[in-house]
Structure 1
């Protein structure tokens, strides 16, 4: 058991809830930030653990957003920053995507520097979109590693919401790196950079109409019925429980200091997902996938080598089959 207190921003997020669940299971005390009292109470009723409490940070972009909560919690020594917008339904790309991600990250780091001198470990949830070339920058021959950066410019990020999301993650990570260098901080910083994140929700889902963005990929296949075409699509995935575990390794293992932990398990296609569902749920109405298309689809999926990260993590990833089974089982039965 441990007496360490960990702060988790964006505590009601998909990944954040799994991080909290794993922290509590290891005996950590957790303070999570949410945007409203109602969201905090909802989360508390799901978690049901006395070692979890919440604080309200209504807006990431508000100057000094995290100052008061850090003044209030001098016991916190680890700060996990997971809060960042993940949506393509935006009116103003810069205001709704780029600024909250970038300014929110800098606000958090500023508050730590000013009001959290006892905080020694900071972990930021980034994304594999910071590493992979996408769209016009996709290179089917390149093997992407922890050293690579998506070359999208800030100006290009403003072109459409998808590019806006890519830019928001990339420029938030770069802003954090720049802050750590320029401000000569007294904390260690690490990044966790997952691709599409599948897996069950940490706590029972009441509203299954819309899952988080990554799991909508799985949900979109679940919603298909016999005769529906399966889109010829695929990408790279990791299970949410492995992403959460990587956040713990990021502050518990000194080898992770200053590293970009590139948590990627394997590639997938929607045909493969459909066939896993068919094999594990015999009563499903999901059409059978045509895996003879996989070779062609794989040409449009990034190749990667994250062996450096895997050595630091020291655990085996949850397989696609297990991840899909647990996700779909929860959708059907929760």
Structure 2
């Protein structure tokens, strides 16, 4: 465990995929706590753009164009021997792909393994690793959805590798499961000198860490909320719901994951509560009277829950993390307020 009595500025944290939605919040919180951060991005232009957003001399970046290159992380880790913590948030999430296996599933698995191998071979000083997985690696969707099962941190999605090749949505779910399984297998076989923790967010809502670059096209989770914002007063609200977590809580979980010895080897399920698009619309209408969003019919919520919302028990995660999660209202309000002012 990192002794929080020491000056955190003496600790350097590597964050892969540092310009991602969750990763930017991780970086922001790390810097606020005094850590020094080096992030990886896919291009120099993305790195410069991120530095302009962050404007903190304790942040620097390294360019790693592709995670699939076996030696992708070698040069960056060799260049920064002072890094002692590695947070692997980078993973493909785009659904606009043609080859599910080669553009989504394999890059997630290979990227995770390449990071772990590089840490073992070139950065023996790294003692803590955190991997951003997803709740989709824990529970089933589609034909695998079980509305009666109460999921916890020990569960694995029943999706098979082959089922994951059926389309981008299932490919994403498969990529998270099999990338995490690959990491578990690596730890068992290679026995590296670092400890590992896995963070499993559900749908992740909340404001951007810095500024909104394009409010018409948000990350995949927030686009769920954005599709409600884009509706007119007379439009029909789609019947949809699931489980959510606030992005700021997810980011904080990444930090506790390496600061706490209790988190070693654990799978942390970041889930604050459930949502429906009707609940989202109801919050927006109540908190933003000028909105053109249709009024949500929350009387549909119970029926939607039965059909598509997972039950869960993440009391173990909450005990390890030791902080209160933000509510759906906080997430939606802060997100919409930011978009209103963008």
Same fold (TM over 0.5): yes
From 314, 324, 332, the equivalent of 2:332 is 324
Structure 2 gap ranges (5+): 1-6
Find the counterpart in structure 2 of residue 287 from structure 1.
294
Q: Aligned partners of 2:166, 2:212: CA distance in 1, in Å?
A: 34
CA RMSD of aligned residues (A): 0.6
From 32, 39, 44, the equivalent of 2:39 is 32
Find the counterpart in structure 1 of residue 199 from structure 2.
192
Structure 1 gap ranges (5+): none
Q: Aligned partners of 1:98, 1:232: CA distance in 2, in Å?
A: 29
1:19 matched to 2:26? The reply is: yes
Find the counterpart in structure 2 of residue 311 from structure 1.
319
From 257, 265, 271, the equivalent of 1:264 is 271
Deviation at 1:135, TM superposition (A): 0.6
Deviation at 1:133, TM superposition (A): 1.3
1:70 matched to 2:77? The reply is: yes
Which sits farther off after the overlay, 315-324 or 202-211?
A: 202-211
Find the counterpart in structure 1 of residue 4 from structure 2.
none
Deviation at 1:323, TM superposition (A): 0.3
Map 1:132-151; keep pairs closer than 5 Å: 132-151=139-158
From 208, 218, 237, the equivalent of 1:201 is 208
SS at match of 1:124: strand
Q: How many residues align?
A: 334
Find the counterpart in structure 1 of residue 240 from structure 2.
233
Deviation at 1:99, TM superposition (A): 1.2
1:217 matched to 2:235? The reply is: no
Q: Aligned partners of 1:45, 1:221: CA distance in 2, in Å?
A: 31
SS at match of 1:79: strand
After superposition, what is the alpha-carbon deviation per residue over 1:246-273, rounded to whole angstroms, capped at 9, x for unaligned?
0000000000000000010000000000
1:86 matched to 2:93? The reply is: yes
TM-score normalised according to structure 2 size: 0.97
Q: Aligned partners of 2:176, 2:304: CA distance in 1, in Å?
A: 26
Q: Aligned partners of 2:11, 2:314: CA distance in 1, in Å?
A: 30
TM-score normalised according to structure 1 size: 0.99
Which sits farther off after the overlay, 149-158 or 23-32?
A: 149-158
Find the counterpart in structure 2 of residue 247 from structure 1.
254
Find the counterpart in structure 1 of residue 3 from structure 2.
none
Find the counterpart in structure 2 of residue 333 from structure 1.
341
